[in-house]
Amino acid sequence: MTAQLVDTPYYVLLDGKQRLGPKLLRPHLGPEGVAIYGFSDKPTYDLFCANSNLALTPYPLVKGYLKNQITDSGNAIHLIVVDAEGPNETQLNATTMKSVLTAQEQESERVTISFHLMLDPGSQAYRVENASSDLGVTNSPKESQRG
């Protein structure tokens, strides 16, 4: 399986003082996830803003914030949704904050997508699924039905 690479995010969008992110469904198995939207460049967050009715402000995605989230995360998986076109997409690509931090520290232009977020129309929240089966964490309903 070939890993999907995307441009490394360097920006977030703020709604007031809060970083904006999609609502995630609570998993049946595995750790809980928390996500924010991250953007690689101005055209990507401009597109998102054009598709949103919120008054959003771009802000740098700084290493200190990423380090704090990773340190304070406990068992939660902190995700960054990369270059979403808007807040209501049916599928989003995400990577971990740790992967983004590593990419920024190593000045890597690309980061690997680790997860796909699939919109559940009934709850208007996203189900987190592994992008590859070798990561050892899944929140897929098929996995939770195995016993």
Q: Tens of pLDDT along 87-111? A: 989 999 999 999 999 999 999 999 9
pLDDT band at 2, cuts 50/70/90?
Answer: low
User: Please, which residues have CB within 8 angstroms of residue 55's CB and are 6 or more apart in sequence?
Assistant: 15
User: Any idea which residue has 């998993």 for tokens?
Assistant: 27
Q: Which position has the higher pLDDT, 146 or 84?
A: 84
The two three-digit tokens of residue 73, written as one number: 């995360």
Share of the chain above pLDDT 70, in %: 88
8-54 pLDDT, tens digit each: 999 999 999 999 999 999 877 777 889 999 999 999 999 999 999 99
CA distance 143 to 147: 8
- Alpha-carbon span 44 to 113, nearest angstrom: 17
Closest CA to 11 of 100, 95, 120, 124: 100
Place of tokens 């977030």: 12
3 state DSSP class of 2: coil
Distance CA 22, CA 24 (A): 6
**Mean pLDDT, rounded, of the chain:** 86
As a whole number of Å, the end-to-end CA separation of the chain is 27
Distance CA 5, CA 7 (A): 7
